[in-house]
A and B are shown apart, each in its own frame.
Chain A
Amino acid sequence: MSTTDTGERRRSSDARPVITDLIDEATVQSIGEEAWVALVGEEEPLVPLLGKLPDDVLSSWVDVVGPWIGSVVLTTGRQTAAELTRALLGDSAPELLDHEDVADAFGEIANVVGGNVKAALPGPSALGLPEVGDAPVVRNPADVCRVEVLWRGQALAISVQGALPPLPVPSHPHHEKEVSL
């Protein structure tokens, strides 16, 4: 028996969800706020206001690999990342922070936020180890859920962004009607 493929079935099964189909900004913000209260303290929460990131920024992120593939990225000014490190370490903070201290603490915040974002996404998914540096490139602007907040008056962004480029759009979709199985 042969059937005619109208293209509908293939298009729907091939479609990859973008992150905004899976999680919304309010959820990402709530996850960030909860992480801040637990790790940094309730005296200095995230404030849901827009700010301007400085030129000299640092990002930390973890990769999520599962039905959705991408990264959960925190970005803020280097100075703010250092202040976050001191807030996280409290009395244990060394007098002089080195890059490893900042990478470790800022990376751990990304790990905690990323783990909770992953839990809100369809699974099963694997969580990578935290990385710190220049944020991964956004490959599909439609596959990004980003919230911007302030901490101690400084801008900080939490971005849940896909790692894959957009799927190509078929140029002649009506040709699919001629495909037989």
Chain B
Amino acid sequence: MRALVIDDSRAMRRIVTRAVEKLGFEVRDAGHGREGLDVLDEGWIPDLVCVDWNMPVMDGLQFVSAVRANPTWRNVTIMMVTSESEHTQIVRALAAGAHEYVIKPFTADALRDKLALLGLLPQEVSL
């Protein structure tokens, strides 16, 4: 399975990438939503996108809307991974088309549980 990690922080990209790789995903990353769309445009279609909210150039919400507007990418599961934890923000993200929402800081167990709920764990894994 493939995962695309989008975050403007290199440190956070590394942290999320490491966590998702441990769960068995092949991972690519991008520094903002526009770069993430470029990866999809290349034809590298992930099963899962972990996307931050607040980013320059194109934020996570704009990215989610852009992906949902393209029928080619309708099977991509999107999980917001963000420090935006207000209820109204979560509702906005889900309404835009995100499937799940993980609030930073998150533990590896929390991430695994979310992916299990989404039916996206490639195999039985332990962290």
Contacts and interface: CB of A to CB of B under 8 A. Distances in A.
A49 interface: no
A104 B31 CA distance: 12
A101 interface: yes
Nearest to B85: A119
B71 interface: no
Given A38-B106, A123-B88, A92 B9 contact: no
Contacts of B105: 34-35, 37-39, 112, 116
Q: Give the one of A112, A118, A125, A129 with max B CB within 10 A.
A: A112
Contacts of A85: 11
Q: Which of B10, B14, B105, B107 has the most CB of A within 10 A?
A: B105
B12 interface: yes
Interface string A79-94: 0000001001110100
B14 A123 contact: no
Interface string B1-17: 00000001111101100
A71 interface: no
22 contacts: A35-B105, A39-B15, A89-B11, A92-B14, A101-B10, A101-B11, A104-B11, A105-B9, A107-B9, A108-B12, A112-B104, A112-B105, A114-B83, A115-B82, A115-B84, A115-B103, A118-B86, A124-B86, A124-B88, A127-B84, A129-B55, A130-B9
Across the A-B interface, give the 5 residue pairs with the lowest CB-CB distance, nearest first: A115-B83, A38-B105, A105-B11, A119-B85, A108-B9
